[in-house]
C-alpha cells in the first residue's frame, strides 16, 4: 500500500443552542469517520461572531 500524498479537510460551522447539541453533532461526525483509521476531528465551541449588516 502506498503512503497517502494528500489529505482532505472539511470545515463546518453551524449555530447550536447548547453544548450538548454541539457534542451530539461531533459524535455523529466521528461515527461517520470511524472506518477511516487516520481521521482526526478537531472540535471547538466558540461564541458566535455577529456579521455586520450591509
* C-beta of residue 45 within 8 angstroms of C-beta of residue 22: yes
pTM of the shown model: 0.72
Question: What is the pLDDT at residue 15?
Answer: 93
* C-beta of residue 48 within 8 angstroms of C-beta of residue 15: yes
**What pLDDT digit, counting tens, does each position of 1-53 carry?**
677 689 999 999 999 999 999 999 999 999 999 999 999 999 999 998 777 77
Quote the CA–CA distance of 38 and 46 in Å, as a whole number. Answer: 26
Question: What is the pLDDT at residue 33?
Answer: 96
Question: What is the pLDDT at residue 10?
Answer: 94
| Cα–Cα nearest to 47, from 12, 11, 15, 10 | 15
* C-beta of residue 43 within 8 angstroms of C-beta of residue 28: no
Amino acid at each position: 500500500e502506498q503512503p497517502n500524498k494528500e489529505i482532505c479537510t472539511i470545515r463546518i460551522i453551524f449555530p447550536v443552542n447548547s453544548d450538548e447539541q454541539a457534542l451530539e453533532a461531533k459524535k455523529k461526525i466521528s461515527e461517520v469517520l470511524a472506518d477511516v483509521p487516520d481521521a482526526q476531528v478537531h472540535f471547538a465551541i466558540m461564541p458566535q461572531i455577529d456579521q455586520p449588516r450591509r
